[in-house]
Amino acid sequence: MMKGWDGIQSSVSSSSRSSSTINNRVPSQSVRLGRVQPQAPTFRTIFCNDREANLPVRFKGNSISTTKYNFFTFLPKGLFEQFRRVANLYFLSISILSTTPISPVSPITNVLPLSLVLLVSLIKEAFEDWKRFQNDMSINNKKVDVLQDQRWESMSWKKLQVGDIIKVKQDGFFPADLLFLASTNADGVCYIETANLDGETNLKIRKALEKTWDYLTPEKASEFKGEIQCEQPNNSLYTFTGNLLIQKQTLPLSPNQILLRGCSLRNTEYIVGVVLFTGQETKVMMNSMNVPSKRSTLERKLDKLILALFATLFMMCFIGAIGSAIFVNKKYFYLHLDSSEEGSAQFNPKNRFVVFVLTMFTLITLYSTIIPISLYVSIEMIKFIQSTQFINKDLGMYHNESNTAALARTSNLNEELGQVEYIFSDKTGTLTRNLMEFFKCSIGAEVYGNGVTEIERGLAERNGMKIEENRSPNAVQEKGFNFDDARLMRGAWRNEPNPDACKEFFRCLAICHTVLPEGDEKSPEMIKYQAASPDEAALVIAAKHFGFFFYRRTPTTIYVRESHVEKMGKVQDISYEILNVLEFNSTRKRQSVVCRYPDGRLVLYCKGADTVIYERLSDSNNDIKKITREYLEQFGSSGLRTLCLAYRELHPNVYESWNEKFIQAKSSLQDREKKLDEVAELIENDLILIGSTAIEDKLQEGVPRCIETLQRAGIKIWVLTGDKIETAINIAYACSLINNDMKQFVISSETDAIREVEDRGDQVEIARFIKDEVKRELKKCLEEAQSYFLTVSGPKLALVIDGKCLMYALDPSLRVMLLNLSLNCHAVVCCRVSPLQKAQVTSMVKKGAKKITLSIGDGANDVSMIQAAHVGVGISGMEGMQAVMASDFAIAQFRYLEDLLLVHGRWSYLRICKVVIYFFYKNLTFTLTQFWFTFQTGFSGQRFYDDWFQSLYNVIFTALPVIIVGLFDKVAHSLQQFLISGC
């Protein structure tokens, strides 16, 4: 939300120093305005408030079109789409043949049914496209204020051009991708909601460059003349690289200054911005075109079945044509075969080969009904009704708390749900609720928190024990805070052995984040925190209850109300200047903030995963590092999510030297993210460990029962999570994925041998050693697994592997061994895995096992996994709608997967299979009677049925019974229970 505020003031003051560097690197940058400079292919140059200067570049207009057709392309393009289907192309050929003299049926009886099918399909396409066109028109004709001759003129969105300066009012939507210049709020900030973009409803803050804050009124904005060098249009929603050249200064631009089309303005009277990307080049429009197309297995098999029917048709015609060539003889004088009449002369007994060829075409026309002309239309209709009426309106999959129903985003994969054999599931937010609560922590050598987690309670029950939780009567409980330990509450931490460490711990919680507070500053109970993730909100809420109340932030300052620091009962408001924010991402796995205390002290606070924090700690305090590692393992075994907190005091000279490099990296137009990560490495070292936090995320309701039912149905479930191995194993126990009766194979990089090699620091040796260890473990586990198969009553197997080992196991030389081992396991848990590894594991099973796979997740890190599987399911959860937007089906809770697969999926599969068999049966029955009749008519191609009866047999006479079967046929209850039980 508040990412990218780092070093803005320093950036402005130092921009003149970095300007020359940038200009040397990018020759096309110039402060001369009004003329178009040659552009490098990697970026574009935009002249602000100067349409004439931008005219030669011919930027795209802001009008959007989501339609598939226009007035001129509808008929040719629509017909092309229809005739891409083999069956329609076949019936077009039959219709053409029926117009020739060799056809035994009237042309109209073939042309009419084909025309009817095409007409229905084209009307459906036209109706859907007309709806899209109306929606486009309403959007393109929306009004926005554009700067024209020192005043705001109302103009439709479609007339906007790149470089225009516009004003967007409160609750209005941004008409294009904008560079944020000025706001009515203090310090040039504004608040936006990105629900239309990624589904997240929490507000995010954007900050204009200090140099542009004054351009708010139309008179002042008309004076703004600047040149923007930025990246070319792309579909990355969360990145932006560019520079603003103004008044001979080069100011780096980040995503914090960009307002994307589709977002809306909140809590701000109005903002002024410059149009960067328009129309189809906006990020939201470029993302809308990247939906992967999936075809069901049954649909692919259907194409093969159609080809098999073609082969059957050819054999029937071939037999009939041979019979005709043999049967034709002059002794049948009454047929006038040797007469000069048109038609009969062509079947001249003297040229039997011509008779053979002509009879082939005659019989192809006669037997054309063997291919069901209405098959595709009927199946599409059935699938559409199954999705919209059965899945979307199933009250059994409706979540009352969030008012969320199931949603079938495509109707192509209904029957695929009934064939799923492997499920790949995320953990956080999918199996768990993603409602994070601060539960325990360690500060220095002490551990705090008296609560008992669900995992600990379940573990005790498995061991035959019962845990009673003695909760303090004065314990504070708030959403996000479930901590009970009187030693830290109400200022009692001042009496602990190391109060200074406690103070740094609480300040790190209160300062190192990107949270936005909303509400009355005077009342901590009224403040609500808008956070990018529930974890961050839980940590800030914890800081509030420990006496470090974060209540306000500006782009450059964080305000914290600190209690009991100097003496008990004393409260003081302290402002911390935020100099730099080193953002969290899946590669860094940490977040850092450089802040200046009121007394001038410079401190870097850092929080992140234990693996990355431990690599960057100073060599001192080894005792605390060892003790904290033990606490982390203890927290992990209790099913808690852990983070490490650390800090570093910075000397002003060291900071200034580093900040110059940071500004240069921020100003780079190429590989900016990579350079920023490299610069961050320079200062995120020699850290002092403060302690660790442990956050509980409870299981969703009904998860254990759902997993147990799916396993009884023969479905294997894999959990792919970024959590540490102890946490993942205990969650797997809690949700009944793993039990004590299973034989567990654990392949982990957290062994003494691997740690010893890692301590030497030789990366080549580390890679070679871990690969050899993984190979040895895989071979050993596979041999042991195969030995169990030889026994009559061998135990079920479970595999647990962490991300570092998985990286080597996915190597082509070891992948087959990993696949063989994992396919023989009843359950698989992959820990510490990246989003890319999730997709790689899914693809490995999808391609290697040749089984139907399903991926389910709730966050942006699950998108690649969802798209890699045959079927993708998104959870409408706390992490936005990225997973839902990339999915084929969306549900609110994991437990609804049971109904989706075992009820809707199985019924859809059985119904569609019956529909296909029904179609083939009735068409073969109909055509074979004609075939046997041909034997009685001397293979002459005489028709047995009336032309109209034959042509309308599929389209009208037998259409409704097939659709009824496809919609309402059910398996007998006892049989269904038999199938679900896996017997």
Catalytic machinery residues: 426
Give me the helix-helix angle, 959-968 and 375-385, nearest 10°.
30
Residue with tokens 């191609």: 941
| 907-910 own/partner pairs: CB under 8 Å, 24+ apart | 907/418, 907/969, 907/970, 907/971, 908/383, 908/386, 908/414, 908/415, 908/417, 908/418, 909/298, 909/414, 909/415, 909/416, 909/417, 909/418, 909/419, 910/418, 910/969, 910/971
Write the DSSP symbol of residue 487: T
Q: How far is CA 177 from CA 161, 169, 195, in A?
A: 11, 15, 16
**Alpha helical stretches, state H, 367-517:** 375-385, 454-462, 499-511
Token couple for 691: 């302690």
> Residue 423: which of 715, 223, 627, 840 has the closest Cα?
715
**What are φ and ψ of residue 605, in 5° steps?**
-105, 140
Distance CA 798, CA 707 (A): 15
Distance CA 553, CA 533 (A): 18
> Residue 368: which of 561, 623, 113, 616 has the closest Cα?
113
**What are φ and ψ of residue 603, in 5° steps?**
-135, 135
**Alpha helical stretches, state H, 328-453:** 352-366, 375-385
In DSSP terms, 577 is beta-bridged to 557, 596
**Alpha helical stretches, state H, 761-876:** 763-789, 803-809, 812-823, 835-848, 863-868
Distance CA 976, CA 772 (A): 48
Distance CA 429, CA 860 (A): 12
Distance CA 243, CA 45 (A): 10
Residues whose CB is less than 8 angstroms from the CB of residue 676 and which lie 6 or more positions away in sequence, other chains included: 582, 662, 665, 666
Element spanning 553, H or E: strand 548-554
Rama region for 187: left / alpha / beta (φ>0; ψ in -120 to 50; rest): left
> Residue 863: which of 843, 845, 838, 844 has the closest Cα?
838
Strand 571-582 vs strand 590-596: parallel, antiparallel, or unpaired? Answer: antiparallel
Contact 624, 444 (CB under 8 A): yes
Distance CA 280, CA 296 (A): 30
Beginning with the edge strand found earlier in the chain, give each strand of the sheet holding 827-831 in spatial order: 407-408, 889-891, 871-875, 853-857, 422-425, 716-720, 827-831, 797-802, 743-747
Contact 869, 436 (CB under 8 A): no
Rama region for 315: left / alpha / beta (φ>0; ψ in -120 to 50; rest): alpha
Strand 716-720 vs strand 249-253: parallel, antiparallel, or unpaired? Answer: unpaired
Distance CA 308, CA 930 (A): 19
Residues whose CB is less than 8 angstroms from the CB of residue 681 and which lie 6 or more positions away in sequence, other chains included: none
Contact 46, 227 (CB under 8 A): yes
